[in-house]
Amino acid sequence: MTSAPLSDRDILLALFDAGLAAALPEGKFKDRLPAPPKGRTIVIGAGKASARMARAFEAEWGRPCEGLIVTRYGHGCDTRHIEIVEASHPVPDQAGLDAARRIMELAKGAGPDDLVVCLMSGGASSLLTMPADGLTLADKQALNTALLKSGAPIGVMNQVRKSLSGIKGGRLAAAIAPARAVTYLISDVPGDDPAAIGSGPTIPEASDPEQVLGLMRKWGIEVTDKLERVIRSNIVPGDAIPGQEVHMIATPLMALKAAEAKARELGITPLILGDAIEGEAREAAIVFAGIATCAASHGLPAAAPCVLLSGGETTVTVRGKGRGGRSVEFLLALAIALKGRPGISAVSCDTDGVDGSEDNAGAWFDSRILEEAATRGLKPADFLANNDGYSFFSALDRLVVTGPTLTNVNDFRAILVR
């Protein structure tokens, strides 16, 4: 008796599940643990994956430890020794500010015989908020909101955030010294630059005020006299911290490689197009539609059945008032560009389980999507113009809902060509 062939949806979600499993922190600390200290082991950190990282670290460490982790609301988990607090993301709140101050105090209180373990992942930029001298929490909230609406890439956002922070850009590492510091990272940034993950609280990086001010003006972020004054005075020298270790335990490419292996297991040729795709989500979708069409028509860059895999972090310049994140924005634009071409389906999800600020990780579609939309009187172009991909895919029962995954290696996209 033979089993029924898998549907497009089954295949796409199996690939996403495989990628997600590879991005979890469990087992990633093995053979990467530092020597036990003479003094205390203090664990601090922030990010959407940081609570699960703390639990995985405790399981591998097997010794007493203490500390504090701040993660997004709803992204906490049970730990034995390390305190977990939750705060707002992507716009910071008072809970995040209070946690950042406590974490800085723990860092400053570490002595030369102590070990400070830092667990950082995407989202730490908002969660670990400590305005530089001269700024208030309200100033940081307004800035974050403006950055999120600007369409600026994550690298630009992080540079601006660092320049206005009292804890990012290596300032936390400076507070830890002379204690020994070990940083573990889950990457959510194109290129896996340690200094960019969570705006690099433990990774010193020299700041350039003129460059930051130029980027703000380029992306339409208002440069008030107060912001300019703080940016020019809040300089980071970028000097390395002696004895610090940095380990990358999960990356976007690891997730794509796991999906690649799963595709081969299913008898589908995989092709990884890149783990660092950036730019406007709707514009990237047009490019990917062209590649998928070429694969379907000419067998290039891979012959069907194949799957085109990619990761990275696209952006959305918000013009409308709809419900949507970058994953559903990409997917809706892709469906429109493909024009219902038979044999092509796709999934796009954020690996943290939250696309933008909604309750879905992303969505999926098959070649019938435009036909089904038409029968229900839905006009895809109108939804795209209003940045309302969530409502479009929700109406057609195509959302992917995982709940918080407690990891974060950014976007996962798979385009299946039958």
Starting at the earlier edge strand, list the strands of the sheet with 83-87.
Answer: 83-87, 66-72, 41-46, 115-121, 180-186, 245-250
Cβ-in-10-Å burial (0-12, 13-18, 19+) of 154 comes to buried
For residue 2, pLDDT beyond 60: no
Q: What are the pLDDT digits (tens) for 8-52?
A: 999 999 999 999 999 999 999 999 999 999 999 999 999 999 999
For residue 235, pLDDT beyond 90: no
Strands 83-87 and 269-277, sheet pairing: unpaired
Under DSSP, is residue 143 helix (H, G, I), strand (E, B) or coil? helix
Range 380-408 average pLDDT: 97
DSSP assignment string, 244-301:
-EEEEEE-HHHHHHHHHHHHHHTT-EEEEEEEEE-SBHHHHHHHHHHHHHHHHHH--S
For residue 69, pLDDT beyond 90: yes
User: Which of the four pLDDT bands, split at 50, 70 and 90, describes residue 228?
Assistant: very high
Range 145-169 average pLDDT: 90
User: Which of the four pLDDT bands, split at 50, 70 and 90, describes residue 1?
Assistant: very low
DSSP assignment string, 163-218:
HTBSSTTTHHHHHHTTSEEEEEEE--STT--TTTGGG-TTS-----HHHHHHHHHH
Query: Percent of the chain beyond pLDDT 90?
Result: 89
The answer for residues whose C-beta is within 8 angstroms of residue 8's C-beta and 6 or more apart is: 345, 364, 366, 416, 418
- For the beta carbon of residue 78, count every other beta carbon within 10 angstroms: 7
The answer for residues whose C-beta is within 8 angstroms of residue 204's C-beta and 6 or more apart is: 169, 170, 173, 174, 236, 237, 238, 239, 240, 241
Range 379-395 average pLDDT: 97
Range 320-333 average pLDDT: 94
C-beta of residue 310 within 8 angstroms of C-beta of residue 272: yes
The answer for residues whose C-beta is within 8 angstroms of residue 298's C-beta and 6 or more apart is: none
- For the beta carbon of residue 237, count every other beta carbon within 10 angstroms: 10
Dist CA 329 CA 345 (whole Å): 15
Rounded to 10 degrees, what is the CA torsion of 31, 35, 41, 47? -30
Please give the C-alpha separations between residue 241 and each of 171, 180, 247, in angstroms, as whole numbers: 10, 10, 15
Please give the C-alpha separations between residue 250 and each of 19, 255, 369, in angstroms, as whole numbers: 11, 8, 34
pLDDT at 240: 66
> What's the first-to-final CA gap in the chain, in angstroms?
24
Range 190-217 average pLDDT: 91
For residue 328, pLDDT beyond 70: yes
Q: Report the amino acid identity of residue 138.
A: A
User: Which of the four pLDDT bands, split at 50, 70 and 90, describes residue 236?
Assistant: confident
For residue 318, pLDDT beyond 70: yes
